[in-house]
Amino acid sequence: MNGLGGLNKSPNGVVIGLVQLQLPSVVTPADLIAQTDRVVAMVAKARANLATMDLVVFPEYALHGLSMDTNPEIMCRLDGPEVAAFQKACRDHRIWGCFSIMEFNPHGNPYNTGLIIDDRGDVKLTYRKLHPWVPVEPWEPGDLGIPVIEGPKGAKLGLIICHDGMFPEMARECAYRGAEIMIRTAGYTAPIRDSWRFTNQANAFSNLMVTANVCLCGSDGTFDSMGEGMICNFDGAVIAHGTTGRVDEIITAEVRPDLVREARLHWGVENNIYQLGHRGYTAVKGGARDCPYTYMHDLAAGRYRVPWEDEVKVVDGTSCGFAAPTRSYGAAQTPLAREAAE
């Protein structure tokens, strides 16, 4: 289903716009203000571009670019002016929006944070990237899990960020928690193009879930991002794809969460998200419901260890110019993380 990019919207359709935003260079607080204004202007463009659009999605690093600068002066807060500007834009243009900030963390390195804001300007989802792209990224590992919310037309939305999507467990967790559409925002550059494409499709197919994925686009004079806005249907088929690398292009498509629900209920062959926990139900009633996967048991017990553990060469960020960390994960927990855990 595409509906000519959402021009012809069905009663059950959700129209998504993926903004292949020009890769910015942000060094100073003034740069941050200017880039916030630019993102807000692109929300207006999205609404003017397609009156049927329900959700506009901006890539990871939309405010900060790819410098990996952790300068507190350009970090954002959840109650700060940048988020407030995004809320106002969504409210003014009556559109849902997905945004990216680097979030100040008083207890350690900043978080790489994604937000979903509804068409009344309320923040409905806050997600902190669980898997920073090590060793390149200095961000604190996320501590809020993977929230799933009810979005436009009642569609269940999940959000992951960039490298998260290379772990099939991330998409599986989204689907297991009910997501019918999984958003993946990114700042990836060209060397990742092939793996970007096939993981977006695999994440969709393996979980009977729509995936909506977008990267930054263009060059900041040092790095070159690839755009690659990509919407995959729940059977893994690509229904929209920005292959030209044109900056600020908005890739659009209509998706059908109602058909996701139908497939999850009625598919027999390849209903993988259900069958994972009901192995061999043709032979045994209800299927085998044990957990035969060693890595799952070990991860849950805090003893995850690959057979080649002692031979791994890159285990911190020193190869990318970051000092080796001395603080263990979980040494300090923010009030928001405690609230999410409860």
Q: Which pair of tokens denotes residue 240?
A: 């929209």
Residue 79 lies in a domain: yes
Q: What tens digit of pLDDT does each residue of 81-115 get? A: 999 999 999 999 999 999 999 999 999 999 999 99
**Rounded Cα distance, 119 and 99, in Å:** 13
Torsion of CA 175, 176, 177, 181, to 10 degrees: 10
Q: What pLDDT shows up at residue 342?
A: 53
Task: Indicate whether 304 belongs to any domain.
Answer: no
Assess if residue 86 is contained within a domain. yes
Domain ranges, residue 182? 3-275
Of 145, 70, 147, residue with least CA distance to 103: 70
- Say how many domains are in the chain: 1
Alpha carbons 277 and 265: distance in angstroms, whole number:
15
* Alpha carbon separation from 162 to 62, 134, 210 (Å, rounded): 13, 12, 16
Average pLDDT on 51-62 reads 98
* Helix, strand, coil content of the chain in percent (nearest 5): 30, 20, 45
Question: Is position 217 within any domain?
Answer: yes
- Of residues 5 and 18, more confidently modeled: 18
Integer angstrom CA distances of residue 136 from 13, 171, 207: 38, 22, 29
Helices (H), the chain: 3-6, 29-49, 81-93, 168-176, 193-207, 257-266, 272-275, 294-300, 335-341
Examine the pLDDT at 340 and tell me if it is beyond 70: no
Q: What percent of the chain has pLDDT over 90?
A: 93
* pLDDT digits 0-9 by tens, 121-143: 999 999 999 999 999 999 999 99
What's the pTM value of the predicted model, to 2 decimals?
0.95
Query: What pLDDT sits at residue 330?
Result: 80
pLDDT digits (tens, 9 = 90+) for 265-299: 999 999 999 999 999 999 999 999 999 999 999 99
Residue 195 included in any domain: yes
- Positions annotated as catalytic residues are 60, 129, 162
d(CA 290, CA 251) in angstroms, rounded, equals: 42
The pLDDT of residue 4 is: 86
Strand partners, 224: 219
135 cis-preceded (ω within 30 degrees of 0): yes
Is 302 a member of any domain? no
> CA-to-CA distance for 245 and 331, rounded, in angstroms?
42
Instruction: Please tell me the predicted confidence (pLDDT) of residue 208.
Output: 98
Domain assignment present for 296: no
Q: What is the mean pLDDT of residues 191-197?
A: 97
Beta strands 55-57 and 96-103: pairing type? parallel
CATH number for 73: 3.60.110.10
- Residue 324 is given by DSSP the state P
User: Does pLDDT of 261 surpass 80?
Assistant: yes
259 inside domain: yes
Check residues 330 and 23 and name the one with the higher pLDDT.
23
Report pLDDT for 302.
95
CA–centroid distance for 327 within its chain: 27
Q: What mean pLDDT do residues 330-342 have?
A: 61
- For 175, the 3-state DSSP assignment is helix
Which H/E stretch holds residue 239? strand 238-241
By three-state DSSP, how is residue 196 classified?
Answer: helix
What is the overall mean pLDDT for the chain?
A: 95
Residues 288/280, Cβ–Cβ less than 8 Å: yes
